[in-house]
Amino acid sequence: MSTLRYIEEAVTLELDVTRCNGCGLCVAVCPHAVFAIADGRAALVDRGACMECGACALNCAPGAISVEPGVGCAQAIINGWLTASEPSCDC
């Protein structure tokens, strides 16, 4: 798994540490170990591994995390282009 990494330069994840309350839910919900808690605050330790599922931002009560969530699926993005709407798949 650690050897398989995807395109990292377009990732939209941002963390505003000043709004973090250190609850650690971002660490708990992230499936790719993007976050860690250091000195009572969240930190981005592997931002490039983010797949933009949106779990961290949704579960961040103080709203310190932002990301453009969605499905990383070519078919969904094509559907979005064809219908000029949000990317969506039928799976």
Q: Which is nearer to other proteins, 17 or 28 (CB)?
A: 28
Cite the DSSP H helix spans in the chain. Answer: 25-29, 55-58, 74-83
Residues in touch with other proteins (CB under 8 A): 1, 3-12, 25, 27-33, 49-56, 58-59, 61, 68-78, 87-89, 91
Kindly state the smallest distance separating residue 88's Cβ from other proteins, in Å.
8
Q: Which is nearer to other proteins, 16 or 75 (CB)?
A: 75
Kindly state the smallest distance separating residue 86's Cβ from other proteins, in Å.
10
Q: What's the CA gap between 57 and 3, in Å, rounded?
A: 26
Query: Which is it for strands 41-44 and 35-38: parallel, antiparallel or unpaired?
Result: antiparallel
Q: Which is nearer to other proteins, 41 or 52 (CB)?
A: 52
Kindly state the smallest distance separating residue 36's Cβ from other proteins, in Å.
10
Beta-carbon contacts of residue 78 (< 8 Å; ≥ 6 apart) = none
Which residue spans within the chain are E strands per DSSP? 14-15, 35-38, 41-44, 65-66
Kindly state the smallest distance separating residue 39's Cβ from other proteins, in Å.
19
